[in-house]
Structure 1
């Protein structure tokens, strides 16, 4: 079956279906790359960000040039806006999956922190605690800088030892030295644990 008519510039199918679809896909691509570029830039990846920026602007120029050639085609505008929105979403999902960078977790527990601090240190998390004065008296503020991929694990530890603790999570652009949890190699015994966590 000959489908060449779909790509003929004067074809109604090309004008109202194929072209908006191509613009939509191009906009998804360039906006996804753009979102990733900004994320990498904020994380301090100075070489990767410009590399992505080159491809981002090339794809954007192609999409915009097609818009300018078909100013009377409202579907092109819709495709352009839709691709922009979807590209933002996809870029954020990809960044979340990659779990790039480090974060600072600031914890203000509601009860004794000794067990929480001990457990974090035993699991190779760097912990700094300071005494402070809260609205209801003296409190200990705990700081730990961790890999972003470890957030769920650390939050689970906080909830285990100090339910209802107040904590904040902030991105950290750069760090120098410090203690970070080293990934443990999985063994055959992990598959036999049936998801049961050992209490320490």
Structure 2
């Protein structure tokens, strides 16, 4: 029973730590601080349980390590599902596909900036968008429907001020 407590508590604690770090880097300091309180409280209870007679019961080390690794995995899954913040999507397509793709994305409610570019063999259109992280996969799938050879890159961004459809802080 003690080993199960250690594993579960460590999974919860590390998952909270992962979410806290993302929140803080995205500018959500207050929520991050609240999560930190619970994270550290749980950590203190957990560590005191693990360190008590650890040399006589080395399986506590295994349970702690298992909880840590599972917590990292679960925390990253939860964070991805929550999709906190914005990302910049850059889409590079042949010039003849750019306007069609931009219009389709705009019709779906996304703000798109189109720029001209020069590829090795063809003129290109570069589409820039700031989108909620949780919608990246959906948008990428829509882009592939129109142009399967598009080059799509995504970069996380911190706060964004102004622009079409953006929340101003």
**TM over 0.5, yes or no?**
yes
Q: Which structure has the larger Rg over C-alpha atoms?
A: 1
- After alignment, is 77-86 or 157-166 more displaced? 157-166
Aligned-pair CA distance for 1:142: 0.8
Cα separation, 2, equivalents of 1:146 and 1:131: 21
* Residues 1:120 and 2:105 are matched in the alignment: yes
- Asked if the contact 1:116/1:157 (under 8 Å) is kept, the reply is no
In structure 2, the residue corresponding to 1:136 is in which secondary structure? Answer: coil
Structure number with the bigger relative contact order (C-alpha 8 A, sep ≥ 6) is 2
Alignment of 1:47-66 (within 5 A): 47-66=30-49
- Among 46, 67, 70, the alignment partner of 2:53 is 70
- Asked if the contact 2:94/2:122 (under 8 Å) is kept, the reply is no
Cα separation, 2, equivalents of 1:85 and 1:93: 13
* Residues 1:157 and 2:134 are matched in the alignment: no
Cα separation, 1, equivalents of 2:146 and 2:4: 52
- Asked if the contact 1:70/1:76 (under 8 Å) is kept, the reply is no
Cα separation, 2, equivalents of 1:119 and 1:25: 46
- Asked if the contact 1:146/1:180 (under 8 Å) is kept, the reply is no
Could you tell me which runs of 5 or more consecutive residues in structure 1 were left unpaired when the two chains were aligned: 1-17, 182-200
In structure 2, the residue corresponding to 1:120 is in which secondary structure? Answer: helix
The two structures, once aligned, show a CA RMSD in angstroms of: 1.7
Which residue of the partner structure matches residue 134 of structure 1? Answer: 119
TM-score of the pair, normalised by structure 2: 0.89
Cα separation, 1, equivalents of 2:48 and 2:135: 44
TM-score of the pair, normalised by structure 1: 0.76
